[in-house]
């Protein structure tokens, strides 16, 4: 972590439980997991062509351009693994990545892009809703929020759906390098209030920067806590 990593004070954590006060118990497991092989599996445009259920799955959801693909690249230390671009709406499929046969990451197409066509929005809604509500191995949705913009109405819509479907989601703040640390903390506090009473929301919010590689250890640790155990090391 760099000096720019926002530190949430323990007293703030007590107010909204957005922050961790103890080291994450899966930090080392997460480091080892992501040091192993991560490979692209497939791109699915319909639920029928997704891989048969296997290891636990986590997905990255969020508004268009929030940084989903960049975060996957940063986590796996592979620049071109997930496509990332300046063109919103670039990711149009459900992209599957295999992490050491113990976890699958799914990069979802972004939502909330103002200039998307009605047909594209309808397609996103149909495919991702069906995936998010009905994918049996899905353990957690990482809902990415741009630190500069905070929670938007389209994020709230997704939260409503996930609360109703009882699918756990965790907020991940992205692009923290773009604003000053106190502003990041302020945004996280605000978001913590939004999720406080939501039944399927995981209370801890993780600030990240794919550019500075901040917050990745904690995110890896969260994912490791959901992955199959490492039988190769026993």
Ligand X SMILES: Nc1nc2c(ncn2[C@@H]2O[C@H](COP(=O)(O)OP(=O)(O)OP(=O)(O)O)[C@@H](O)[C@H]2O)c(=O)[nH]1
Binding site for Mg ion (CB under 5 A): 68-69, 91
Query: How far is the C-alpha of 95 from the C-alpha of 193, rounded, in Å?
Result: 32
- Shortest gap between Cβ of 107 and Mg ion (angstroms)? 6
Candidate list 86, 197, 231, 234; residue touching ligand X; CB under 6 A: 86
Tell me which of ligand X, Mg ion, none is bound by residue 104, counting a contact when its beta carbon lies within the kind-specific cut-off of 5 to 8 angstroms.
none
Per CB under 6 A, the list member of 54, 89, 137, 150 interacting with ligand X is: 89
CB 84 → ligand X: shortest distance, Å?
4
Which residues inside 125-184 make contact with ligand X, applying CB under 6 A? 174-175, 177-178
Q: Which stretch binds ligand X (CB under 6 A): 29-37, 48-56, 68-76, 96-104?
A: 68-76
For the chain, first and last CA: distance in Å? Answer: 30
* Residue 112, binding choice from ligand X, Mg ion, none, Cβ under 5 to 8 Å by partner class: none
Helices 216-226 and 27-35: angle between axes, nearest 10 degrees: 90
Give the contact letters, 28-67, x = binds to ligand X (CB under 6 A), - = no: ----------------------------------x-xxxx
d(CA 184, CA 176): 6
Structure tokens at 102: 């113990």
The residue count for binding ligand X (CB under 6 A) is 24
Q: What are the C-alpha distances in Å from 44 to residues 18, 62, 136, 223?
A: 34, 18, 16, 22
Tell which one of 76, 95, 128, 209 touches ligand X (CB under 6 A): 209
Q: Give min distance, CB of 128 to Mg ion, in A.
A: 13
Place of tokens 């939502």: 111
Smallest gap from Cβ 108 to Mg ion, in A, equals 8
Count CB-CB contacts under 10 A for residue 145.
Answer: 25
Q: Name the token pair of 69.
A: 């693909």
C-beta of residue 183 within 8 angstroms of C-beta of residue 144 = no
Instruction: Answer whether 144's CB lies under 8 Å from 61's CB.
Output: yes
Chain contacts with ligand X (rule: CB under 6 A)? 62, 64-70, 84-86, 88-91, 109-110, 174-175, 177-178, 209-211
């Amino acid at each position: 972590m760099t000096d720019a990593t926002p530190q949430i004070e323990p007293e703030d954590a007590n107010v909204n439980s957005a922050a961790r006060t103890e080291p994450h118990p899966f930090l080392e497991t997460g480091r080892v997991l992501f040091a192993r092989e991560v490979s692209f599996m497939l791109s699915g445009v319909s639920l029928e062509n997704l891989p048969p259920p296997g290891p636990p799955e986590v997905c990255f959801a969020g508004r268009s351009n929030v940084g989903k693909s960049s975060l996957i690249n940063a986590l796996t230390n592979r620049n071109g693994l997930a496509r990332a671009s300046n063109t919103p709406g670039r990711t149009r499929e459900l992209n599957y990545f295999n992490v050491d046969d113990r976890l699958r990451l799914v990069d979802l197409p972004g939502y909330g892009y103002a200039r998307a066509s009605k047909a594209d929005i309808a397609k996103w809604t149909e495919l991702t809703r069906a995936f998010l509500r009905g994918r049996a191995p899905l353990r957690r949705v990482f809902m990415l929020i741009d630190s500069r913009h905070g929670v938007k109405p389209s994020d709230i819509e997704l939260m409503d759906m996930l609360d109703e479907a009882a699918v756990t989601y965790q907020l991940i703040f992205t692009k923290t390098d773009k604003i000053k640390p106190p502003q990041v903390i302020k945004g996280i506090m605000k978001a913590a209030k939004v999720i406080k009473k939501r039944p399927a929301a995981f209370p801890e919010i993780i600030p990240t920067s794919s550019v500075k590689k901040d917050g990745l250890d904690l995110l890896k640790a969260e994912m490791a806590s959901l992955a199959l155990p490492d039988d190769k090391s026993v």
